[in-house]
Amino acid sequence: MKFFDAMNENSIDMKLARSRKFWNIEETDRPLLSVSIGEIEANMPFFSEDIDDLFKKWEYYIQKLYSEKWPYDDTFPAVYPWSIFGHALMPGIVGCKTSYKAGTWWAEHVLDNLDDMDALNFSLNGHIFDRISRYYDHFIPLAQKGIYPAAYPILGPVDLASCIRGSENLCIDLYENKEGLIELLKRCTDFCVKFAEYTVEKSYIPELSGMVSSAVNIWYPRNTINTADDNSILFSPAMLDSIFTKYEKRLFGQFNGVLFEIHSGSLHTYPIWFNMDEISVIKITIDPIDNGHFLDVLHRFTPVAGRKCLLVNSPYEFVEDVIRIFGSKGLAINTACNTKNEAAILLEM
């Protein structure tokens, strides 16, 4: 028995079929859609120190949300673990100090000297790892009833190293201790692979023959990860290519599919990610500073359209422009509507 009546086998099959067309870059009548609807999503539970309480709130929230939202987009009812743990989970496991303040989780850099990295924990254990383990223990049994666990978004090796070392120190290490930095990147990559393998295995849903994303609740093929390396913005393309991308490729190469998020602020790094064969989907996030140039930034991604899938975070008023620029094939759009009527209009585009 599913938690809500709207979720039936026929409608699940329809969503899966449309999702597979997206991943296979096949012709389709409209893009894949992930829609937030303001009138029914205003009370989403978010970070809390008491995660057991938060698990129960999410269980109730997802049931209530999808009893109304299910017909209006192509997403599945999954609990997004980032909304419980934030970006601090992986750094916390390794040994960064984590704290809950200002409504979110934060991680502070922990490694002041590269010679001390043996003191870090690059294993899947400890009280911080126990938090994600409890998440899966709680939500995996609910999958048969229609509430799914989602894979945790993976910090890339550069982002994890930056959390551990601090961004400024990471840049200085390139000139003062490159050998130590490379050893740190190797250990971070090994840990990222282990953690990604763990969360991918735990998130597999036999009933869907795949997973539900940690990005916007769309369907993923089995053995796919969602990741990014925001701190790559600190380096020139030449430096990225000569030192850092080998570690990204090692992580990406362990999986069948990779959804990689690119921010508009990383403009100078675009060609590297565009031409990386291991990346299946590029998720486009326009940073607030570029909101006035949204369409101009989008046009920079046209060279990759048709070669890779694109997932665009778009304001509602620009959805038609996004479709005009990229077409529907291999395109997914994540947007926010005020009402269910606005969401229904998108389904007819």
pLDDT digits (tens, 9 = 90+) for 163-183: 999 999 999 999 999 999 999
Three-class HEC string of the chain: CCCCCCCCHHHHHHHHHHHHHHHCCCCCCCCEEEEEECCCCCCCCCCCCCHHHHHHHHHHHHHHHHHHHHHHCCCCCEECCHHHHHHHHHHHHHCCEEEEECCEEEEECCCCCHHHHHHCCCCCCCHHHHHHHHHHHHHHHHHHHCCEECCCCEECHHHHHHHHHCHHHHHHHHHHCHHHHHHHHHHHHHHHHHHHHHHHHHHCEHHHCEEECCCCCCEEECCEEEEECHHHHHCCHHHHHHHHHHHHHHHHCCCCEEEEEEEHHHHHHHHHHHCCCCCCEEEEECCHHHHHHHHHHHHCCHHHECCEEEEEECCHHHHHHHHHHHCCCCEEEEEEECCHHHHHHHHCC
Which tens digits make up the pLDDT trace of 288-327? 766 678 899 899 999 999 999 999 999 999 999 999 999 9
Which tens digits make up the pLDDT trace of 206-238? 999 999 987 789 999 999 999 998 898 899 999
pLDDT value for 47: 62
Region 247-258: mean pLDDT is 97
Mean pLDDT of the chain: 91
At 43, the pLDDT band (50, 70, 90 cuts) reads: low
Structural domains of the chain ordered from first start: 23-347 (3.20.20.210)
| Least confident range of 104-113, 135-144, 191-200 | 104-113
At 48, the pLDDT band (50, 70, 90 cuts) reads: low
